[in-house]
Amino acid sequence: MEHYYWFALKAIPQVGNVTFRRLLERFATPEKVLQAPAEALASVKGVSKAAVASIKSYDYRVEAERECAAVRKCGVTVVDILAADYPPLLRELVDAPPYLYVKGTIAGLASAVAIVGSRRASTYGLVTTERLARELASRGITVVSGMARGVDTAAHRGALKGGGWTIGVLGCGIDVIYPPENKRLFEEMAAQGGLVSEFPLGTTPLAENFPRRNRIISGVCRGVLVVEAAENSGSLITAQYALEQGREVFAIPGNINASGSRGTNRLIKQGAKLVEGVEDILEELPLRTMVPADIRQPPQFNLTESEAGICTFLTDVPLQIDEIIVKSALTVGEVSAILLRLELKGAITQLPGKYFAII
């Protein structure tokens, strides 16, 4: 029942994040807010008459008790804005969530970069994302993204392969796995990083949740890298939040004929820093702010001669399985078996269209 009154105050109609914070600054705790007389509540700047009336009349008990029970059952942690481990950069936002639901840890957010992009990313976008995320993570930088398909998933996987930390910000309850095919990734991230949501447990991934999620992705980080984005995409919304929050914005240049590159290329025209490698990011975000307490070593792959031979073909560019068969002069069965072993070892990844790449 530790956060009972936090859940109670947040459940009250007319009490959004901004009003919650103003009341908290005045009365110090949610419990004291709920106990305050109407006259004292009304004296708080920016708190409307409707909010005061709602606070004094709304029966929050069922919702607060239900959320407390759900938190206990799911084993998640609630980190409120008064806690020392609340993300310091996020706390600066006017509409910062009063509390976050956390699985795993969010300790690595002191040195974090967000990577966002298209759910329907190209092979180029996926390979580039995973490579950059891996290299950032290997330098002790936490990689933050939104757990969506495409670029987000590639960013999280790259960070894990780099032996570092990665944090996923959800547009649903932290107990809801979305997209469902990322179940294993959720589990890995809870062990080597964390999952974060501002939404109550059980919240489904409604479309209107994702812009709110995006402001947290940018809000917890020092910079945001956009890999691929069509015009008017959610990734550009994240970039806009980043600019409003005073964060650095980076973009990967793309094919001028590809619709998925129009958003990123436009960001570069508007002043976003063009990124070809992690050094371009680190130049803008001083390394002294990104010294990890503990860097995990990336895995060593103990490849057989035939496995190493296949990997040499994938050094420069992803290849389709038929191209690998031709280059290796092996049978279909032999190549398929080798590729499967390499995937299981984590040495390569399979991309859409039966392409394979070293990440």
Highest mean pLDDT among 104-113, 170-179, 310-319: 170-179
* DSSP symbols for 250-313: EE----TT-GGGHHHHHHHHTTPEE-SSHHHHHTTS-GGGG--S-PPPPPP----HHHHHHHHH
Residues 256 and 321 in one domain: no
Q: How many CA atoms are closer than 13 Å to the CA of 138, on its beta-carbon side?
A: 15
- Is 95 contained in some domain? no
pLDDT in tens, 62-100: 999 999 999 999 989 999 999 999 999 999 999 999 999
What's the distance, Cα to Cα, between the start and end of the chain in Å? 45
The answer, yes or no, to whether residue 359 has pLDDT greater than 90, is no
- What is the rounded average pLDDT of the residues 211-226? 96
Residue 228: which of 334, 327, 152 has the closest Cα? 152
Boundaries of domain holding 8: 1-74
What is the number of other CB atoms lying within 10 angstroms of the CB of residue 307?
Answer: 17
**How confident is the prediction for the chain on average, in pLDDT?**
90
pLDDT of residue 296: 42
Residues 4 and 118 in one domain: no
- Is 94 contained in some domain? no
Residue 135: which of 115, 114, 159, 154 has the closest Cα? 159
Residue 186: which of 113, 23, 196 has the closest Cα? 196
Residues 266 and 153 in one domain: yes
pTM of the model as a whole: 0.82
- Is 99 contained in some domain? no
Residues 243 and 268 sit within 8 Å (Cβ to Cβ): no
Residues 54 and 112 in one domain: no
| Angle, in degrees to the nearest 10, between helices 234-244 and 262-269 | 20
Q: Which two tokens stand for residue 45?
A: 């700047």
Total residue length of the chain: 359
Distances (CA, A) of 50 to 15, 42, 44, 57, 351: 9, 10, 13, 11, 53
**Residue 158 to residue 162: CA distance in whole angstroms:** 6
E strand or H helix at 351, and its extent? strand 348-351
Q: Can you give the CATH number for the domain in which 274 is found?
A: 3.40.50.450
**Residue 233 to residue 267: CA distance in whole angstroms:** 12
**Residue 269 to residue 98: CA distance in whole angstroms:** 36
Residues 179 and 168 sit within 8 Å (Cβ to Cβ): no
Residue 145: which of 210, 88, 74 has the closest Cα? 210
The amino acid that residue 85 corresponds to is D
- Is 102 contained in some domain? no
Measure CA 311 to chain center: 30
pLDDT of residue 293: 40
Residues 132 and 20 in one domain: no
Q: Which two tokens stand for residue 214?
A: 């995006």
Number of domains in the chain: 3
Residues 299 and 157 sit within 8 Å (Cβ to Cβ): no
Highest mean pLDDT among 5-14, 103-112, 125-134, 296-305: 5-14
- DSSP annotation of 287: G
Residues 189 and 40 in one domain: no
Residues 114 and 219 in one domain: yes
Residues 178 and 203 sit within 8 Å (Cβ to Cβ): no
The answer, yes or no, to whether residue 294 has pLDDT greater than 60, is no
Residues 37 and 115 in one domain: no
**Residue 104 to residue 159: CA distance in whole angstroms:** 15
- Is 326 contained in some domain? yes
Q: What is the dihedral of CA 48, 213, 99, 103, to 10 degrees?
A: 160
- Is 89 contained in some domain? no
pLDDT of residue 154: 95
Q: Can you give the CATH number for the domain in which 34 is found?
A: 1.10.150
